[in-house]
A and B are shown apart, each in its own frame.
Chain A
């Protein structure tokens, strides 16, 4: 069966608005989680966030968006999307060819506009420009119409694993001949909806998150977007290639709506099946980009599942200590980081770690290092038990 390769990447997060700046920040252990400047919420002073310090007005200027009704979620998506298609040299004919698929994962859509949505939903407005921009599909539809993308298009929501599943769906469309190239990724912007939702569940930390630390106190929400261009190796012989998407899987924890089982059934199944799909052994994995949100439940359970699979757990880190948890974008952002690790043969450290979780005795990687990187596993686990793992490999 054809190998699926990555021929373009685009990214924006709290630590940079392109792949190079993200890489430099990762190398230097930069944390983009801080007090909020742009987004208005009651929690601006109490909680830190992985906010992108670029206003909507500036984003619109860069992206030449002068029409109404475009949400921040769509703008962030467009920013990463345009980088990715330029990086892979896709022409406008390529984009509107019916064999081009476009798959986005996201969880808030236009609900970043909480107040506008409230007014529109409760009959307090008359001529809102956003009435077609709230649903999750609106982000994908916006870019489809902007770039005349006509082929198979989709929006996926599996909570925090949404864009990992978008990547997986795109790869499968290529494998089964339903598309010739796939633009895949995800996006989410900060929203009162998610801030208050996670806060109601008491899992937001008032400090910068400490993934895999004994004294971790919750996650920080972030925002961002990333897209990859996937193609079959034989269709892009002449093109620059970053890495192979060698394995993927989707499984369910089948335990609870908002927490993972003690034994990590879903994470275990996702990682095991991804290895099987890539035809790799656990010992082949050079590095794990962990889901590592910094919540009590996730990090313990992910560690338990890693120990069940790996006789010796390979170096691992959580880049959520750099970017915050970008929800629907996380799987795609971390796919880009995994690809950068492979491209440059280097590993990026996890931040804010002090002390191992008692029962796990696992330490994430804490220093930047050059290293031989053949296969990187990237984990994404979400509410409703939605667990996915991707494996990227050296060409």
Chain B
């Protein structure tokens, strides 16, 4: 799967996983911060996204602080997924 497809798929997964209301993949920009401004996610969402990375891509992030560096925006997540995915 190429990067653009992976980005689109990830956006769909995030919307479904976090049950985001009236947000489409097109609404999420690749370099828009996921937390605070932008999508407005919070610390519980970051724990949810860590589970998403595990279940969808077989990536185990054990330290939530490490997670914060990976879960910055779609670009950083996809970058990490491409390098570390086990499924």
A201 proximal to B (CB < 8 A): yes
Size of chain B's interface in residues, with CB distance under 8 A? 6
* Residue of chain B at shortest CB distance from A201: B47
A276 proximal to B (CB < 8 A): no
* Residue of chain A at shortest CB distance from B46: A202
Within B35-86, the residues touching A (CB, 8 Å) are 42-44, 47, 51, 64
A236 proximal to B (CB < 8 A): no
Would you give the shortest CB distance from A253 to chain B, in whole angstroms?
15
- When chains A and B are docked, how far (Å) is the Cα of A256 from the Cα of B42? 10
Interface of chain B, main secondary structure: helix
B64 A202 Cβ-Cβ under 8 A: yes
Residues of B within 8 Å of A259, CB to CB, are 43
Interface of chain A, main secondary structure: loop
A57 proximal to B (CB < 8 A): no
Residues of B within 8 Å of A58, CB to CB, are none
* Residue among B42, B43, B47 making CB contact with A200, cutoff 8 Å: B47
Within A220-260, the residues touching B (CB, 8 Å) are 256-259
Residues of B within 8 Å of A202, CB to CB, are 47, 64
- When chains A and B are docked, how far (Å) is the Cα of A213 from the Cα of B14? 36
A257 B64 Cβ-Cβ under 8 A: no
- When chains A and B are docked, how far (Å) is the Cα of A279 from the Cα of B2? 69
Residues of A within 8 Å of B44, CB to CB, are 201, 257-258
Within A189-213, the residues touching B (CB, 8 Å) are 200-202
- When chains A and B are docked, how far (Å) is the Cα of A259 from the Cα of B42? 12
- When chains A and B are docked, how far (Å) is the Cα of A201 from the Cα of B47? 7
* Residue of chain A at shortest CB distance from B67: A202
* Residue of chain A at shortest CB distance from B65: A202
Residues of A within 8 Å of B64, CB to CB, are 202
- Chain A interface (Cβ within 8 Å of chain B)? 200-202, 256-259
**What are 10 contact pairs spanning A and B, CB under 8 A?**
A200-B47, A200-B51, A201-B44, A201-B47, A202-B47, A202-B64, A256-B42, A257-B44, A258-B44, A259-B43
- Chain B interface (Cβ within 8 Å of chain A)? 42-44, 47, 51, 64
Extra contacts besides A200-B51, A256-B42, A259-B43 (7): CB < 8 Å: A200-B47, A201-B44, A201-B47, A202-B47, A202-B64, A257-B44, A258-B44
